[in-house]
Structure 1
Amino acid sequence: MTRPRAAARTVAHPDASEVALQQVLEALGDPVRRMLVSQLARSDGDMSCGTFEAPVSASTLTHHFNVLREAGVIRQYYVGTTKMNTLRADEMEGRFPGLLSSVVAASVAEGEAGAA
């Protein structure tokens, strides 16, 4: 007897046209979430949840990813059992021109100033 195949795991994402500016600003207002977005923006590709550097526990990190996903800032998908993250930069640029790139640039500059 063959076992039924499990359905592929999927993650729900809002359409960029449905994302409100207030929700994006609230998501990017948290320093940990800005750190995650900056790491994605600087990465050479998509990143798994376990590869981010963040000063919070795994469960708190999951919360931050959920907030960013629900705000339309990131897209998450599974590769096997690994949850991957990608920045929805083009979609955010189309919806809110210049916002995401400005936040990332300011976050990087703030981090560099704080490290000096």
Structure 2
Amino acid sequence: MRQARHPEPGEMVLTDVVAALGDPIRVGVVRVLADGRERGWGELRVPVAKSTLSHHLRVLRDAGVTRTRQEGTRCYVTLRREDLDSRFPGLLQALLAAAIADDVGNQVGLADRAT
């Protein structure tokens, strides 16, 4: 099974990170992951097909915004907050504040475990 490549903090490019954060679904994923917890892909509630979610998660990973870990057939994702904060100080905090203020990404959440 092929391991996903994650750019080192020094390899992160501002334009790639900003482009990755230019989609409301991806901003919503970042908002959900901002609590610092690792989430399984199946825990994410998004208004797109699984293949489209996979694409969005790959864009975030390739830009260095998230880290993906595979365990068997399951994939887990976390926000690379420390790496982003060290490489681009204040960027993530500003993005999250603006996203909350403008309600960007609100259509992304966590799946209800009761169902």
**Is TM more than 0.5 here?**
yes
Structure-to-structure mapping, 1:4-83, within 5 angstroms? 10-42=3-35, 45-83=37-75
Aligned counterpart, 1:95: 87
The structural deviation recorded for 1:84 is 0.3
| TM score, norm. by length of structure 1 | 0.83
1:8-34 residue CA offsets vs partner (Å, 9 max, x unmatched) = 652211111011100000000111100
Q: Which has the higher helix share?
A: 1
Unmatched runs of 5 consecutive residues or more in structure 2: 107-115
The structural deviation recorded for 1:79 is 2.4
Q: Return the index of the structure with the highest Cα Rg.
A: 1
The structural deviation recorded for 1:80 is 2.7
Q: Between the two structures, name the one with larger relative contact order (CA 8 Å, sep ≥ 6).
A: 2
Counterpart residue identity of residue 74, structure 2 = T
| TM score, norm. by length of structure 2 | 0.84
Aligned length: 105
Unmatched runs of 5 consecutive residues or more in structure 1: 1-7
In the TM superposition, structure 1's runs of 4+ consecutive aligned residues that sit over 4 Å from their partners are none
Contact 1:47 1:85 in 2 (8 A): yes
The structural deviation recorded for 1:38 is 0.3
